[in-house]
Chains A and B, each alone.
Chain A
Amino acid sequence: MSLLEIKDLTQLFSGLCAVSELNLSLDERELVGLIGPNGAGKTTVFNIVSGYYQPSQGDIRFQGQSLAGLKPHKVSALGISRTFQNIRLWKEMSVLDNILVAQHYNLGYGLGGLFFRTPRYLKREKDIRHHAMELLEIFKIDKYAEEKPSNLPYGMQRKVEIVRALSADPKLLLLDEPAAGLQATDVSELIELIRWVFEQFDLTIWMIEHQMKVVMSLCSRISVIDFGRLIATGTPEEIQQNHEVIKAYLGDDQI
C-alpha cells in the first residue's frame, strides 16, 4: 500500500486553476522530487497535503486515511511534517523552544496537570525536553540550543527547520525548496544532510527544488508539473530526456 495517494486533486482559487486533476502516489521509504517552472502549483500541492488549503475536488489518502477536512495540526499529528520555502521558524524563541513547540501533537498532559505540576506533567516535560536535546545533539547543533534563530546564519536556520520538522517524528517529510537562498558550498552540505536523514530515519521525503543538482543527485523518482498538471514522472535520467519537460522549461523549439 502506498504511503500517500493523491487522487484527481483540483484546487481552484476563485476561477484560477492552481492544480488540476493531479494523480500521484508515494511509497514508503522513497525520496521523491517535485519540480516544475515557477508558478506551476508545487507549493500549492504541499499546502493542500499539509492541510492548509482544503482541495476543491479530489481526495488525499495518507496511510489509507483520508485527509479531507482535517486541520493542519491534525494532519501533522498523523505524521506529515514540512519545512517552508521562506524559513518560518519562530524567530524570537530559542532553537530549543522551536523544537519543543513542534511536540504539541504529543504533549500527554492536560491543563490541570500543567497548573498543579503533577508528576505526569513533570515527567512528560522532561521527556519532551530530552527528546529535543537529543535531536539537536544528533545534528550537532546543540550548542545553539539557547540561541535565537535570527542570530544564526541562513544555512543553519535551514538545518534547524529541518530538525524541527523531524522532531515531530513524521512518516512523510515535505521539503519546500530546501536549497533556496543557499550558497554553493552550503548546497552540497544540504545534499549530504538530506541523504543522511533519509538513511537514518524511517520516512519518505518529498521535496520541491529548483536546483537540478539537488534533485538529480538525491531523488530516485521525480514528478514534473506545469500549470497545475502532471506532465511527466520518472527517474532523473528519464526526466532529463523527456520532451514535455524540456518544452515546459525552455519552450517549444518550433517557433
Chain B
Amino acid sequence: MKRLCVPILLFLLLSLLMGLAYFEVIDLYIQTIILFMGINIITSTSLNLVNGNMGEFSCGHAGFIAVGAYVSSVLSVALFTKSKIFGAPLLPPELAAYGFPFVLICGGIASALTGLLIAIPSFRTRDDYLAIITIAANYIIITAIINIDKIGGARGFMGMKRVIFAMEECAEIPWMVLWVFVFTVLTVIIIRRYMTSTYGKGVEAIRQDEVAAEIMSVNTNRIKLVTFMISSGLAGIAGGLYAHAVGYVNPKSFDILKSTEALVMVYLGGMGSITGSILSAVIFTLLLELLRPLQIIKWVAIPLLLIIIMQFRPEGIMGHRELSDIFPKLKKFYKFK
C-alpha cells in the first residue's frame, strides 16, 4: 500500500490533467500555467540541490536553462520538421512523438557539460566566488547565443510549434502536458534518490562542514562536480520543455532575471527541502499570473514579498524540512528522507 500510494496518485493526476486538456475543459491559457508549474518545479528543485543542499551559491541557473532550451529546440526542429535553416527533416516527422524525450535528454546532457565546464574552475575558489562566476557564465551563454546568427541571434528561435504539430499527427493528445508531467516526476525521483543515498548525504556534509567531510573520506571535489552537473542537466531539461511549451525562445528570456526567479523560488520554499521547492514553484507560478494585471509593478510586488519572507521567516516556507516532517502522518504513505 505504502509503495503504491504515490504512483497511483500521480497516475490519477496525470489522467485528470490529460483528460481535462483533451476534452478542452481547461483552455490553453490554464494549460500553459500548468505547464509552467511543472517547468518551474524542475527549475527550483534542481537549483535547490546546489544552493540548498550543497550550500554553494549559484546565481546563473538561467544560463543552463538556455543551453538546454536551444540545444533541444535546434535538434527537434532539425530532426522532425521542415525549416528554412535546416531544410528537410532528417528523420520522418512521425517519429517526433517518440524522439522528443531523447531530444530533451540531449539538451539536458549539453547543459550538464556546460555545468561541468563552469564548475571545474569555480570550485577551486569558494562561496561568493561561485556566485560571481555563475553570473558571468550566464552572461557568456546569453551573449554567445545572441551572436550565433544561424539560430536566430537576438531575434530568437522558433519552429518548435511545428514539432508539437508533428507529434499531434501521430496521436491527438496534449503531448506537452504529458511530457512536462513525466519529466517533472522524473526530476523529483532523481533528486530524491540522490539525496537519500549515502553518496548524496555527502552533499549535506559538505554544506555543514566541508573540511570534516573531506577528512572523513568524502571526495568533496567529485561530489561537488557531480551535484553541479545533475543540477545544471535538469535545468537544461526544464529549458527544453519551456522552449516547446512556448514554441519560441529568445535569449533575453534567459537573462539574470530568470535566474533571480529561480533563486526566489528556492528561498521561498526553504533551502534544502524538495517538497518546499515544489510548493514554492506552484505558488510562485500562480502568483505571477495573479499579479499579471499589475504589469510592471509585479516586479515591485514580488521582490517585496521576498523581503518580507526573509524578515519573518528567513528559512523559507519549509526550511530544511520535508512535508512528511511537518505532518508525520504522511509517512504512512511516503517518506521523503
Contacts and interface: CB of A to CB of B under 8 A. Distances in A.
A168 interface: yes
A42 B311 CA distance: 45
B204 A128 contact: no
Most buried by A among B190, B199, B204: B199
A100 B201 contact: yes
Contacts of A100: 198, 201
Contacts of A121: 197
Contact of A77 (B194, B204, B217): B217
Most buried by A among B216, B218, B320: B216
A128 B197 CA distance: 11
B217 A88 contact: no
Most buried by A among B197, B199, B211, B217: B217
Given A73-B217, A82-B215, A104 B209 contact: no
Interface string B197-212: 1111110110011011
B214 interface: yes
Given A73-B217, A104-B199, A91 B208 contact: yes
A71 interface: yes
Contacts of A84: 212
A160 B217 CA distance: 17
A73 B220 contact: yes
B193 interface: yes
Nearest to B230: A111
Interface in B215-235: 215-220, 226
A117 B217 contact: no
Given A93-B204, A101-B201, A107-B199, A115 B193 contact: yes
B185 interface: no
A234 to B, nearest CB: 30
Given A84-B212, A90-B204, A90-B209, A102 B199 contact: no
A4 B200 CA distance: 33
Interface in A85-101: 88-93, 97, 100-101
B201 A76 contact: no
Given A97-B201, A128-B198, A102 B211 contact: no
Interface residues of B, number: 25
Contacts of A11: none
Contacts of A104: 198-199, 202, 216-219
Contact of B214 (A71, A91, A103, A115): A71
A27 B127 CA distance: 42
Contacts of B202: 101, 104
A164 interface: yes
Nearest to A81: B216
Contact of B212 (A88, A105, A111): A88
A125 B215 CA distance: 21
A50 interface: yes
B118 interface: no
B216 A102 contact: yes
Contacts of B213: 90, 101
Interface string B165-179: 000000000000000
A107 B216 CA distance: 13
A41 interface: no
Most buried by A among B198, B214, B218, B320: B198
16 contacts: A52-B211, A71-B214, A73-B217, A90-B212, A91-B208, A93-B205, A100-B201, A101-B204, A103-B217, A111-B199, A114-B197, A114-B199, A115-B190, A115-B194, A117-B193, A165-B216
Given A107-B199, A109-B199, A111-B199, 18 more contacts: A52-B214, A52-B215, A71-B219, A72-B215, A73-B214, A73-B218, A73-B219, A82-B215, A88-B212, A90-B208, A91-B208, A93-B201, A93-B204, A100-B201, A101-B204, A114-B200, A115-B194, A164-B216
